[in-house]
Every structure is written in C-alpha cells, then in structure tokens.
Amino acid sequence: MKDITRDGNPVLRKQAETVKFPLSKEDRELGQNMMKYLEVSQDPEQCKKYHLRAGVGLAAPQVGVSKLMAAVLTPPEEDGKESPFKAIMVNPVIVSNSVQPAALTVGEGCLSVDKDIPGYVPRSDRVTIKYQDLDGNEHKVRLKHYPAIIVQHEIDHLHGTLFYDHIDTENPFSQAENEIFID
Ligand SMILES: CC(C)(C)[C@H](NC(=O)Nc1cc(F)cc(F)c1)C(=O)N(CC(=O)NO)CC1CCCC1
Ligand SMILES: [Zn+2]
C-alpha cells in the first residue's frame, strides 16, 4: 500500500498543478491507485491486514504528487439519505456552494494528520463541483451533507489547506449562524 505523506511534508502545503489531457499512463495509474487505496482501506479484512484507517477520500498530494487529482468513496453504510459518491476527480473545481454552513459533529481528521485536533470544521452544506474523469469527460455534480464535506476536504488538499486551518482556535466549538451538524 502507498505510504501517505504526513503533515509537515511541504507537498501538503503546495498549490497542486493542473493535470493535462490525454492523461499519461502514470497519471491514470495514480488515480486508479488512489481509488484502490480507499477500497482496500474500507474492506474490513484488508484494512486490518494493512493496518489502514478506513479512508473515504484521498488527494494526490497525500501520496506525494502535487497534481489536481482526488478520489472520493463515501462509505456504503451511509444512513441512506445521501446517495453514495464514488469518483476519481481530475482538476476538480467547486463552482458554487451553499451559504448554509455545515460541520461534522465529531470534527474532522485526516489521513495525513496523525494527531486528533478537536473542533468544528465549518464548511458548506451543499456544493456543486465540476471535474474531469480519467477519460477527460466533464462531470458536474451537486452534493450535500457528508459527501459534500468529504469533497471540500479533498479539494482543500489540492490547494495546500488542511482541515484544522478552518478551526477557530479561539473557540474551536463555536457555531456559525444556522450551521447544521452532520453525524
Ligand atoms: C482521517 C480518517 C478518519 C481516516 C477519515 N476516515 C473516515 O472518516 N472514515 C469513515 C467515516 C465514516 F463515517 C464511515 C466510515 F466507514 C469510514 C478519512 O479518510 N478522511 C479522508 C482524508 O483524510 N482525506 O484527505 C478524513 C475525512 C474527514 C472529513 C472528510 C474526510
Ligand atoms: Zn485529509
């Protein structure tokens, strides 16, 4: 399994580069390997075997590659409300986002950040994203709640932002006006 770059590695604080089409063989494999990592990490057997934390998203800088590519795999046992979202996103862009803020009740963690950092990470409850798939086809997707949180977390990585950058250090559990909390 790939080793994940940890906080402190400068690649996590860089602005990633646009990916050119047609994809090189290595870029295609990069995307496929990132999705594979998530699939393996969510498989109870394999995640035990490889001592992996079940990953729901991974951005290329986290495997040491400063390119605009990320993989998202929402876990199957969602509470059924949000449709599961599985995508390898190339050059993803948030084209619009709701004013309505949302945060995970339990806060966020990160595959690249080993320590727990408590606090609400205020994000948009709904986002519309555009991205290309590995074949270069354009996709435009509207996401809400948990899948929207994951995608915002991953796109942040592509711009050198980590989840704790958003936590209000003065009052980590401050709540924005009409913020919703996602379990
Ligand atoms: C940091 C880690 C805890 C491994 C987190 N996993 C996670 O939330 N798994 C999970 C959650 C469920 F609700 C049900 C389930 F089956 C598994 C994660 O992959 N990420 C991705 C990451 O670090 N990307 O760079 C952190 C998440 C915090 C909010 C969005 C992504
Ligand atoms: Zn992360």
Buried b / exposed e over 69-84, threshold 16 CB at 10 Å, is bbbbbbeeeeeeeeee
**Type of residue at 122:** P
Q: Measure the CA–CA gap between 150 and 108, rounded to whole angstroms.
A: 10
Residues with C-beta atoms within 5 A of ion ligand 2 = 110
Pocket of ligand 1 contains residue 108 by CB under 6 Å? yes
Q: Is 153 annotated as a binding residue?
A: yes
Give, rounded to a whole angstrom, the gap between the first and last alpha carbons of the chain. Answer: 29
| pLDDT at residue 83, rounded to an integer | 77
The pLDDT tens digits of the residues spanning 99-124 come to 999 999 999 999 999 999 999 999 99
Q: Measure the CA–CA gap between 13 and 8, rounded to whole angstroms.
A: 8
| pLDDT at residue 180, rounded to an integer | 97
Could you tell me the pTM of the whole model? 0.96
Regions of the chain with pLDDT less than 50: 1
**Structurally, what CATH architecture does the domain formed by 10-182 represent?**
Alpha-Beta Complex (3.90)
Nearest CA to ligand 1 atom 14: 75
Within its chain, how far is the Cα of 69 from the centroid? 10
Q: Measure the CA–CA gap between 105 and 133, rounded to whole angstroms.
A: 31
Whole-Å CA distances, 29 to 66, 85, 113, 134, 148: 15, 20, 25, 10, 25
For residue 58, the CA-to-ligand 1 centroid distance in Å is: 9
How high is the ipTM of this complex? 0.98
Nearest CA to ligand 1 atom 18: 55
Extract long-range pairs of 42-45: CB within 8 Å, 24+ residues apart.
42/73, 42/75, 42/76
Active site residue 17: no
